[in-house]
């Protein structure tokens, strides 16, 4: 087990009163590195243009122009929060006069029934921005909640839970942030950030001494700050890769016994990453083998959106109506 890991770090602090399921308990709460606002703005503006290209026809014909609304974002199930700044952007980019007040910080746990944020502003604007805001908030909170479950399952070890590049096109920055909100860590974010030689690369480089020489030659072309990772799918490849002096060796789809053997043979000469067959019911056993990192695409590519709703009240103007929306409404 290496302790000088070079994947992206998160700060964390223990806060004494995180409420989950109505109970107060000590919990590890992350302080995730934020996403730049310009990135959030570009993503949200594109989503709003897709959803509302020429105006909200329903709101414009049903809701008086002078009507104002207050709306609460309410959790229909427990989870871990991520994406409040994105939700706020959906509201304020729809109408800059809209105000969003957060009741909870990203990275914190919440219970069913908790109010996560409150929105006030033009009723038309609140209704026009809610679907984009909720869609993104629900997805990001689903990722954070899933990640939190994996991190908790590996608790008691020194193993990090990491994502992969298996993200939704256009949403990678937000989904990587959501992983951080859940206490996880980020793998390389793009092809340009690090060298990662996978099975198809190695198939072109040969085996044994030929592979070692090829990897060393590649390493010599890189700057000293560039991370070099190599994926292997058999212990037979390990000695040749170890001899090349790479930074991380990924053991892909290894059995638990072979993972433990790989960790023992690498003996701290490189970071050891496990990938493949990573599920919530297997992650604890994988972590117990002593690997440094467990990466899983399931944190982002197959996550379920969390059930969050927007409870809207028209508070001023000629209309006097109320409503509840959630995962499936409005269409």
Catalytic residues: 131, 166, 198, 231, 252
The answer to whether the CB of 116 falls within 8 A of the CB of 104 is yes
Give dist(CA 19, CA 112) in Å, integer. 11
Using CA atoms, how far apart are residues 178 and 185, in angstroms rounded to an integer? 10
Read out DSSP for 226-262?
Answer: --EEEEESSGGGHHHHHHTT-SEEEEET--HHHHHHH
For 151-158, the CB contacts below 8 A with 24+ separation are 151/182, 151/183, 151/184, 153/280, 153/283, 153/284, 153/287, 154/283, 154/284, 154/287, 154/294, 157/287, 157/288, 157/290, 158/1, 158/3, 158/292
Q: Other CB atoms closer than 10 Å to residue 267's CB: what's the count?
A: 11
φ and ψ of 240, to 5 deg = -65, -40
SS3 category, 273: strand
């Amino acid at each position: 087990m290496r302790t000088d890991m070079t994947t992206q770090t998160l700060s964390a602090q223990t806060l004494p009163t995180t409420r989950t399921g109505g109970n107060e308990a000590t919990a590890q709460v992350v302080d995730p590195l934020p996403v730049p606002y310009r990135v959030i703005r570009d993503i949200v503006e594109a989503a709003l243009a897709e959803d509302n290209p020429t105006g909200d026809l329903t709101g414009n014909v049903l809701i008086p122009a002078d009507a104002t609304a207050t709306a609460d974002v309410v959790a229909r199930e427990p989870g871990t929060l991520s994406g409040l700044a994105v939700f706020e952007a959906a509201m304020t980019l729809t109408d800059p006069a809209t105000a969003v007040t957060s009741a909870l910080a990203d990275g914190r746990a919440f219970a069913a029934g908790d109010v996560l944020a409150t929105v006030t502003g033009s009723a038309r604007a609140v209704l026009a921005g809610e679907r984009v805001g909720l869609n993104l908030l629900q997805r990001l909170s689903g990722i954070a909640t899933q990640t939190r479950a994996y991190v908790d399952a590996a608790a008691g070890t020194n193993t990090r839970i990491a994502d992969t590049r298996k993200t939704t096109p256009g949403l990678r920055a937000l989904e990587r942030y959501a992983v951080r909100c859940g206490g996880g860590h980020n793998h390389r974010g793009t092809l340009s950030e690090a060298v990662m030689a996978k099975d198809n690369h190695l198939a072109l480089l040969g085996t044994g001494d030929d592979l070692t020489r090829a990897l060393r030659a590649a390493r010599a072309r890189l700057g000293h700050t560039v991370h070099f990772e190599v994926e292997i799918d058999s212990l037979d490849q390990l000695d040749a890769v170890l001899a090349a002096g790479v930074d991380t060796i990924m053991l892909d789809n290894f059995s638990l016994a072979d993972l433990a053997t790989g960790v023992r043979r690498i003996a701290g000469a490189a970071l050891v990453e496990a990938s493949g067959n990573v599920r919530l019911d297997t992650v604890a056993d994988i972590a117990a083998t002593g690997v440094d990192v467990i990466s899983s695409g399931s944190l982002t590519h197959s996550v379920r959106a969390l059930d969050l709703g927007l409870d809207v009240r028209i508070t001023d103007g000629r209309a006097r109506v109320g409503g509840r929306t959630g995962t499936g409404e409005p269409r």
